[in-house]
Structure 1
Amino acid sequence: MMHFDSLQGWLTWQESLHPLTIDLGLERAAQVFRALNPDGVKPPTITVAGTNGKGSCIAYLEAIYRAQGYRVGAYTSPHILKYNERIKIDGKPVSDELICEAFSRIESVRGDISLSYFEFGTLAALDIFRRSNLDIQLLEVGLGGRLDAVNIVNPDVALITSICIDHIDWLGETREAIGREKAGIFRAVTPAIVGDPEPPASLMQVAADKQARLYCLGKDFGYKKQASGWDWFAGDRQLNRLPEPGLKGEHQFRNASSVILAIAEMAETLPVSEASIRQGLEKVQLAGRFQLINDEIPVLLDVGHNPQAVRTLVDYVTEAFPGRRIHAVFSMMKDKDIAGVIEIMHPVVFDWFFAPLANPRAAMEPLMREIFAQSSASNVFFGFNGFSDAFAAAKNRSQESDLLLVFGSFFLVSDCLAEFEKR
């Protein structure tokens, strides 16, 4: 049985442990979870899956429930600066010590069952939350839904934000295949909320087969923007003149609408006032989602790394920064649709600076040169030895009226925020 005194020791060991970084299938994690938690008791649970918007939905839920005074646990991934960000209680990352204790408990019951890095983290979060006297736990699905370790817990409400093509190696190459995987978080007679305006037929089919209580955006609930604020409605339930969501972009109205319905569906167990909904919508914060740093030249950060997320980013910069020259510091993982992302972005980007990442999954310079050569983008700069170098070059070519845009990967945004923290 392994034991480490530091969180970093545990994480380094976990990374080396399991032959597959992603090993989909619930049986192993479920078995360890039963050993950790034989009575099966859990806090009320909302599970959130989807291609984009998961982090935003968890952030709204967390902000609204905390505004109401509830004790909230939130599990998300990946982290941006520190692993602890993945497991938060009342808005604060838990301590190294708490996570190490959870890892020790998992290790003491695991026997010869092999677990991936992600499964260790998920089990630790669930174990910490179970012992922390929470009013509610919010769980973000890492990948897909059906076979993701988070799905060992039966949610009281399941929410799917959006469905588009990402992670094709694991989830399939079509929205139909991906929709089927995401819908794996649905349960019988349990509210299943879908914030994608055009859900694939496969998702509707799984909901029907499971006899989930399905609510679809645009059909069973929706929103309407007004001159001041916006209105939310679901059947005869409505809220009027709500403040604009604190996270920016049109898609945030869809995310916020889905969240308000989830809260309404949980109201018998956890009542929430309209005042708390308003406060949460306004106060919500999330690193790396259209995050603006007001420096001499403003810096906009976004973790968008698939075509749907990047279309949203284009709409946002066009609306929020009209007429500005945009200098993009850019990097992506090699298994993503890099060419698709560049095609969508290039009409709004003045010049590009490729920032190589120290990550085995990241696209390296030769691959990036090849993809850019075949794209419509021009003014592309290479030859930098990391984020700082690329960012300095982009800043050098900028004027005060321009915008520096750092986007394309969680790891890149992490490098950028780490640099600003050092200052």
Structure 2
Amino acid sequence: MHTPAFQTLDEWLRHCEQLHPANIDMGLERVGEVARRLQLAFDCPVITVAGTNGKGSTCALLEAFCQQAGYRTGVYTSPHLVHFQERCRIGGRSVEPAALVPHFEAVERARTTQGDAVSLTYFEFTTLAILRLMSQTRLDVAILEVGLGGRLDATNVIDTDCAVITSVDVDHVEYLGTDRESIGREKAGIMRAGRPAVVSDPMPPDSVIAHARAIGADLWRFGQDFNYTGDKQQWAWAGRGRRYAGLAYPALRGANQLLNASGALAALEALRDRLPITAQAVRAGLALVDLPGRFQIVPGQPALVLDVAHNPHSVAALTANLDAMGYFPTTHAVFGAMADKDLGPMLAKVAPLIDRWYFTDLDTPRALKAQELRQKWHALQMAAGARREVPVSTHASPQQALQAAIAAADPADRIVVFGSFYTVGGVLQQGVPRLQAKHLGA
């Protein structure tokens, strides 16, 4: 079959969108066959990170520690906030779009060369292209974030040297199961026999631990094989054979980041023979780690918080972090969400902190329309017998919703943007917003 002669990344991405009827098609047979044809393999340690929440932060922390130790890092994460190429970072920087084009061409050739073309979803095709780029780049460590689940995710075609399982909670139930045990079983599928499996969830599903033991993985459990302690000024980490004391808090905000940092340190301790890390690298990494959209506070007035929280567990963490910020006269919330999300628990958790809602459409057919969000919000309010009248408006885009919130907010107020990568990404499309406070009394 003839390989299309697309010249740009955008052309290839449009091509990928048209290859498979489903957005998600769980299974490794098709993607594994194309990976075999590509002879996809890494000659450096691979760390694979799965979980419901905390995956992106854990990958960013691993990247920061390794970079500060002098290693050349390759990181694959998904989804992206604004530009597709954000999904692949080499040496801490997003790759250039043009650098990905030859690898899209190679995946297309591989999937169409032997008889019938192998059908790949957008995620599978793009994952293979990025993995091929990373495998052909001289890396000291490859860090892979699982897209969905673990066992059947496209990233699992690569045998990991160290699996990390972050928090496990109920999300994507139509693909992964309706309870933590079922979902945990899917996440645990990235583990490999005889290799380290780090579990940073303090209360992991039994299925995760059972699978690690059944296959003979080298299990590292939070609270048993590694732990942290801390006060308001500093924290300390202890693993099987190493301890770090007097650590500064990570530059990533939020109480849950100590769990993510602890898991990252455990993974590097488990791989210490191949990736030795100094205490100085750990301290520098904690200070310099950066990840947009994870409780990101934009300087200016009113205060602006960007968070990709999009399920009950992550919204609960966001709520705790917002609560810890202190008093604001009014909190304005820009919110857009996918249609498959469990909105009831998400909205109920954060609602007491929100004084005004700005529901927004998102640029994907998978999202609820702003008007639908408004209807669901009112239904939840009526069911809960809410006594507080909260103003609600609807908007065609996150940018328009944010502008409406800025126009309504006083300098001392707070605006929080959350609900999806698309919500935060929609706000960041024109760069980090510059907040110009209205003059009091103007």
**TM-score, normalised on structure 2?**
0.93
Corresponding position of 1:413: 424
Corresponding position of 1:7: 9
Shift of 1:148: 0.2
Amino acid at match of 2:83: K
Q: Does residue 99 in structure 1 map to residue 110 in structure 2?
A: no
Q: CA separation of 1:86/1:176 partners in 2, compared to 1, >3 Å: closer, same or farther?
A: same
Corresponding position of 1:68: 69
Shift of 1:117: 0.8
Corresponding position of 2:164: 159
Q: Does residue 264 in structure 1 map to residue 265 in structure 2?
A: no
Q: Secondary structure at the match of 1:122?
A: helix
Corresponding position of 2:185: 180
Q: Does residue 21 in structure 1 map to residue 27 in structure 2?
A: no
- Structure-2 separation of matches of 1:237 and 1:138: 22
- Residues 14-413 of structure 1: matches in 2 within 5 Å? 14-37=16-39, 40-111=41-112, 112-376=117-381, 378-413=389-424
Shift of 1:77: 0.2
- Structure-1 separation of matches of 2:329 and 2:36: 55
- Structure-2 separation of matches of 1:215 and 1:120: 33
Q: Secondary structure at the match of 1:10?
A: helix
Shift of 1:421: 4.9
- Structure-2 separation of matches of 1:131 and 1:383: 47
Q: Retained in 2: the 8 A contact 1:226–1:241? A: no
- Structure-2 separation of matches of 1:347 and 1:35: 54
Give structure 1 stretches of 5+ with no counterpart: none
- Structure-2 separation of matches of 1:418 and 1:295: 19
Amino acid at match of 1:71: R
Amino acid at match of 1:42: D
Shift of 1:28: 1.3
Q: Secondary structure at the match of 1:17?
A: coil
Q: CA separation of 1:314/1:131 partners in 2, compared to 1, >3 Å: closer, same or farther?
A: same
Shift of 1:379: 1.6
Q: Deviations over 1:343-395 (max 9, x none)?
A: 00101111111111121011113421221112237424234222232222222
- Structure-2 separation of matches of 1:399 and 1:355: 21
Q: CA separation of 1:209/1:30 partners in 2, compared to 1, >3 Å: closer, same or farther?
A: same
Shift of 1:202: 1.1
- Structure-1 separation of matches of 2:329 and 2:316: 18
- Structure-2 separation of matches of 1:226 and 1:278: 17
- Structure-2 separation of matches of 1:45 and 1:283: 22
**TM-score, normalised on structure 1?**
0.97
- Structure-1 separation of matches of 2:254 and 2:217: 30
Q: Secondary structure at the match of 1:137?
A: strand
- Structure-1 separation of matches of 2:316 and 2:70: 36
